[in-house]
Structure 1
Amino acid sequence: MTSDLKLVEEPKKPLAMDPKKFALWLFIITVVMVFAALTSAYIVRQAEGNWMVFELPVEMWLTTATIFLSSITMHWAYLEAKKDNLERVKLALGITTLLGILFLVGQFYIWGVLVERQVYFVGNPSGSFLYVISGLHGLHIVSGVIFLIIVLISTFKYKVHSKKLSQIQMCATYWHFLDVLWIYLFVFLLLNH
Structure 2
Amino acid sequence: MMFAGFTSAYIVKRNQANWQGFDLPDIFAYSTVVILLSSVTMQLAVRNIRNRNMQAYRQLLLVTAILGIAFVAMQWTGFTQLHERGIKLIGAGSNVSGSFLAAIAGMHMLHVVGGVVALAWMLRNALFSKTRNYSAVPAEVAAQYWHFVDLLWIYLFLFLHFVS
TM-score of the superposed pair, with normalisation by structure 2: 0.93
Taking the aligned partners of 1:134 and 1:115, their CA distance within structure 2 comes to 15
Q: Partner amino acid for 2:50? A: K
**Alignment correspondent of 1:118:** 86
**Alignment correspondent of 1:43:** 11
Please list every run of 5 or more consecutive structure 2 residues that lacks an aligned counterpart in the other structure: none
**Alignment correspondent of 1:83:** 51
Taking the aligned partners of 1:178 and 1:103, their CA distance within structure 2 comes to 12
Does 2:59 align with 1:59?
A: no
Contact 1:81 1:165 in 2 (8 A): yes
**Alignment correspondent of 1:133:** 104
Over aligned residues, Cα RMSD in angstroms? 1.1
Taking the aligned partners of 2:33 and 2:73, their CA distance within structure 1 comes to 14
Q: Runs ≥4 in structure 1, deviation > 4 angstroms?
A: none
Q: Compare relative contact order (CA 8 Å, sep 6+) and give the higher one, 1 or 2.
A: 2
Taking the aligned partners of 2:12 and 2:50, their CA distance within structure 1 comes to 46
Taking the aligned partners of 1:165 and 1:183, their CA distance within structure 2 comes to 27
**Alignment correspondent of 1:29:** none
Alpha-carbon deviations, 1:98-142, whole Å to 9, x = none? 000001111111111010011112321111111111111011111
**Alignment correspondent of 2:117:** 146
Are residues 155 and 137 of structure 1, via their aligned partners in 2, closer, same or farther at CA, if it must alter by over 3 Å? same
Structure 1 residue 88 displacement after superposition:
0.4
**Alignment correspondent of 1:172:** 143
Does 2:69 align with 1:93?
A: no
Q: Partner amino acid for 1:144? A: G
Are residues 159 and 128 of structure 1, via their aligned partners in 2, closer, same or farther at CA, if it must alter by over 3 Å? farther
Taking the aligned partners of 2:115 and 2:149, their CA distance within structure 1 comes to 8
Q: Partner amino acid for 2:138? A: Q
What percent of counterpart residues are identical? 40
Which protein shows a greater Rg? 1
Does 2:49 align with 1:74?
A: no
Structure 1 residue 160 displacement after superposition:
4.5
Contact 1:81 1:160 in 2 (8 A): no
Structure 1 residue 49 displacement after superposition:
3.1
Q: Where do residues 24-35 of structure 1 align in structure 2 (5 Å cutoff)?
A: 33-35=1-3
Taking the aligned partners of 1:63 and 1:42, their CA distance within structure 2 comes to 22
Q: Partner amino acid for 1:165? A: A
Taking the aligned partners of 2:19 and 2:48, their CA distance within structure 1 comes to 48
Structure 1 residue 69 displacement after superposition:
0.3
3-state secondary structure, aligned to 1:47? coil
Taking the aligned partners of 1:136 and 1:159, their CA distance within structure 2 comes to 36
Alpha-carbon deviations, 1:42-90, whole Å to 9, x = none? 0010123321111110011111100000000000000011100000001
Taking the aligned partners of 1:67 and 1:114, their CA distance within structure 2 comes to 21
Aligned residues: 159
Contact 1:90 1:155 in 2 (8 A): yes
